[in-house]
Structure 1
């Protein structure tokens, strides 16, 4: 879909894109093709697409033969899709993507997520995916560049934080490509990025109890990231418990949270809550 086709579609439903909803429509066919090559959808597999817009990416996913489950918040766009996308492998849900019951929608089985994700919901939606009993096997999202850099950040960098740790516990995250504003309509005020997430198997991310407890630990320490972890943990989990957990890992109480790896945060969480499993 080129810009004129998009403008015609917008005019046909009497719509102006809403910045508050993060409605920035991707116009570049080469980038859409890149996302499809990178994600490699397969015939018959379940693909979740949030914010399909007027179907530029959707049509490519459908062409692969995948069963595409699209979630669209805007009623006018949903009506447009119902009128213009007549494929047996297209399943549209008109709803707030942050409130959908994905186990019910997708049946609880294996699926993947591929989307030009509305920027206004990216943090909440990705957290929803992380919390699923069976999260997506992989995810490929267009995100704000800043968000992509946070999600993929390494320890010791300014972008490394609670969301980095929580996401990387379950996924291998890679910032695949930086995308300039001019390939969207309307153009956002910042650069974007295509980010891939590939599920880790056989590690800490497979432990449901650890995945439930670790977000609270990292949120607590990164909320005061300039303070010594020993003090912050002591205030929230008890001085003795915090001191014992850090000492067992040979970590000084004055260490800052951005110095710990994801594996160290997992081990620390196990010690704070006396969880079984590896606690190196």
Structure 2
């Protein structure tokens, strides 16, 4: 009999054990190890079998892909922002153009209205000039008729017409007043010297030029151009002035019958008015 035939075996059944270690590199070779181990039993158990599995490492190529993807996303965002800015700029330009168009249309309408008014005024002035020309022609014909006829009725008619125009003025004074009378209704414009617009001293100067008398251009000088006369001793054709002699600011022509003819102001134009309407300061006699 063997000496070991009845000796029970001390070998215990082998227990299986495994230990798995996972190793992988992340983002450029960073390694992590995950170990899974089973209990191996008592200290005198057989050695544990270890198995290592190699995992693929993320290379720089993948990092480059991530970078390119981020850059592409940023480019898209920049493109959208640029498009939004372009749309806003286009909307602002359209609004500005719309306002400019409206302003241009308003100005064109105002210019058209202004032109129409100017044409209307020109037509009215032309009609007024034609009327004055006809009146002067009629007066001239009446004067000629009176000179060649001894008829009492003709003389009476002529005297009536002359009275309306010159209030009894004769000779040179009548010619001065006839010219001034023909300008009634013309506009007053400072510095204008005719033929359809006047200032006060220009009208006086032009009226006296008809009889060959050359007066100074401005009111101050006209107020001392002749002999000073009293306002109670006026004769048709006398020059009236407002202000002091030598410092007058306005002149007109005495028409007789307590009236004067003058280019008064922009709102009145050339008018025939009573001395009471605007009493003068003094007068000078040139004729």
TM category, shorter: under 0.3
Normalised TM-score (structure 1) = 0.24
CA radius of gyration, larger in: 2
Larger relative CO (CA 8 A, sep 6+): 1 or 2? 1
